[in-house]
Amino acid sequence: MDKIEYKKIANVSVSSNSNSDQDSANTTLLIDNQDDPYSSPVTQINGRISYLQDLEDIPQGRHLGLFSTIILFISRILGSGIFSIASGIYEDCGGSIVLFFSAWGIAAISAFSGLYIYLELGSIVPRSGGTKVFLEFIYERPKLLATVAYSVYSIIFGFTLSNILIFGEYSLHATGFEVTPVRIRIVGLVFLYGAALIHGVSVHHGVRVQNLLGALKLGLIAIMLGTGIYVTCFPTSLTKIESNLHWDDFFKINKKVSASNFAGAIIKATFSFGGWNTVHNVTNEIKDPVRTLKIAGPASLGIMAVTYALINLAYLIVIPGDDIINGGTLVGSMLFERVFGYTIGRQFLTLSVALCAAGNVFVVIYTISRVSQEIFREGYLPFSKFMSSNWPFGAPMPTLLLSVSLSTLVIIIFPKGDIYNYIVSLEGYPNQIALAFVSIGVFVIRKRYPEIRAPIRASLIGTSLVLITSLYLVISPLATTVSPNPRGLEHWPSYALVGLICVIFCILFWVVKFSLLPKLFNYSLESEEFQLEDGLTVKKWVKVYGPR
């Protein structure tokens, strides 16, 4: 592999009174003899540009192969969503079958299109961090705005709540204990603490448990596929299940559906596919990441799309529409119990769903801890040196503890009631804003580097579709007088408004730290790189007073 010669820039400055725009804020490597101050390192294969940043090794090494990556994808995608979110989607769609499947269809198409956007960007910038890395690579001006704003957002939302709630609820329901909000939260939090402890003590043991739960998910997927085929393809005389799905009612809408309601339905369906955009968070730990992700991503998402289509058909066939709406987050358990009976359906398969949510919790805190570690390595948040370390067992325990603490705080401060759908929408809203900017970034990168021949390329139509869908999901909940919140929570602040306020706060953090304070007190911020004891490279930002 022939590489263009480059030089390393040790310090990167952000100053209010100097011509610091001539430095690169987003990369530390520049090509020699180039006039473009924002040039990035370029690797060539047989004279053709392949990617813009070299692979980066980390102390724990590359230990995720193809199978582990597929398990990581499936474990992240298949969580609590398909078993608990269908009720909210059906209600948002006014009980309309066509709108119900339209919401799922749009979410699936957007997921595939978005996956290839991330595969393209990940193939030319193959580093851990996912969305954060892509945004900071694409949007270089205002300097550090994209990376700082998204990083602060990632820390604020660095909790896992929806799946621990489902784990608690389904575990209690399967074992026959009384299901109460307090018990659900206690059971979910206890499991979260155990998962964080395993990941924090040993990277390899955490991955092994993660792979085991992921393998169990493959068995659950087989059961889901079998259930869908059984109730949709076999006659009533054999299944003894009277179909509640009547094609004459396919286009019937039982109640008025606003644009914000339908947007909420798509956001919820998107949540069920949500894992496709998170595996790039651990690129540094994947063996041959470009090839591995190219195979694992589409294969995993294809499996899940077929599974979701069949299980949603099964919901509509087996469960009457009113029962779907009233079933809430237990609609998955209702389906299995009605098809397989109390022992197999209510107990065994419901417990399997709980284990499915458990596997998702393992993957989520695994990826969240890696993203948070990458953020703290940048050095602009408090306690960055400690939080970016692999103390004390060679795994990112500090960021795992941060995620656990945030999850516990959210569990405690939220009032009693069904907060599942609200949290799903709240988490999903800022992600749609970020996804819109990443989609635009594909066009920006192609124009900025026309010589690039990315190993994986997203289609123009797919990228445009993702952008249009994201803009619709961002704008429509704000442009309505009807509350987009789930039923019973209409009096709460709109999830879209709360999400937008969080995004604005993240931007203001950058304004205050990197623009306002340096101007008021006449200093610049300069980053210095140093290594921790385990070899991990981190940054520290120091104040340099006076003109430079």
Q: Is the pTM of this model over 0.85?
A: no
pLDDT of residue 417: 55
Q: What is the largest CA-CA distance in the chain?
A: 85
Please check whether residue 372 is in contact with residue 345, taking contact to mean a CB–CB distance below 8 angstroms.
no
pLDDT given at position 382:
85
pLDDT > 70? residue 48: no
125-129, 162-166, 324-328, 433-437: the lowest-pLDDT one: 125-129
Examine the pLDDT at 34 and tell me if it is beyond 80: no
Q: What is the DSSP letter of 485?
A: S
Q: Does pLDDT of 431 surpass 60?
A: yes
Nearest to 148 by CA among 410, 541, 535: 541
- Residue 211 pLDDT > 80: no
pLDDT at residue 38 tops 50: no
CATH fold of 6-545, please?
Answer: Amino acid/polyamine transporter I (1.20.1740)
Question: What mean pLDDT comes out for the span 152-168?
Answer: 84
DSSP label of 346: I
Query: Residues 53-72: pLDDT tens digits?
Result: 455 555 556 667 788 788 77
Confidence of residue 200 (pLDDT cuts 50, 70, 90): confident
Averaged pLDDT, 515-522: 90
List, in sequence order, the alpha helices (H) in 319-391.
Answer: 321-327, 331-341, 350-377, 384-387
Q: What's the pLDDT tens digit per position in 375-400?
A: 888 888 888 888 888 888 877 889 99
Backbone torsions φ then ψ of 509, nearest 5 degrees = -60, -45
- Is the pLDDT at 50 greater than 50? The verdict is no
Q: State yes or no: cis peptide before 142, omega within 30 of 0.
A: yes
CA distance 195 to 188: 11
Which of the residue ranges 25-39, 158-172, 359-373 would you say has the lowest mean pLDDT? 25-39
Residue 30 has pLDDT above 60, yes or no: no
Q: In the structure, what pLDDT confidence band is assigned to residue 17 with cuts at 50, 70 and 90?
A: very low
For the beta sheet containing 537-545, the strands, ordered from the edge strand earlier in sequence to the opposite edge, are 12-15, 523-531, 537-545
Q: Identify which of 327, 81, 324, 329 has the alpha carbon closest to the alpha carbon of residue 181.
A: 329
Integer Cα distance of 296 and 69 in angstroms: 6
> Per-domain residue ranges for the chain?
6-545
Question: Of 55-64, 114-123, 315-324, 397-406, which gets the smallest average pLDDT?
Answer: 55-64
Mean pLDDT of the chain: 79
- pLDDT for residue 281: 65
User: Which pLDDT score, from 0 to 100, does residue 62 have?
Assistant: 67
The H or E element containing residue 544 is: strand 537-545
Specify the 3-state DSSP secondary structure of 12: strand
pLDDT exceeds 80 at position 130: no
Confidence of residue 49 (pLDDT cuts 50, 70, 90): very low
pLDDT interval class at 505 (50, 70, 90) = very high
So what's the pLDDT on residue 58? 54
pLDDT higher than threshold 70 for residue 363: yes
Q: What is the pLDDT of residue 438?
A: 92
Give mean pLDDT, residues 273-289. Answer: 74
Of 154-163, 340-349, 517-526, the range with the highest mean pLDDT is 517-526
pLDDT at 516: 92
DSSP assignment of 167-187: HHHHHHHHHT----HHHHHHH
Maximum average pLDDT range among 125-139, 224-238, 404-418, 462-476: 462-476
As a whole number of angstroms, the distance between CA 162 and CA 171 comes to: 14
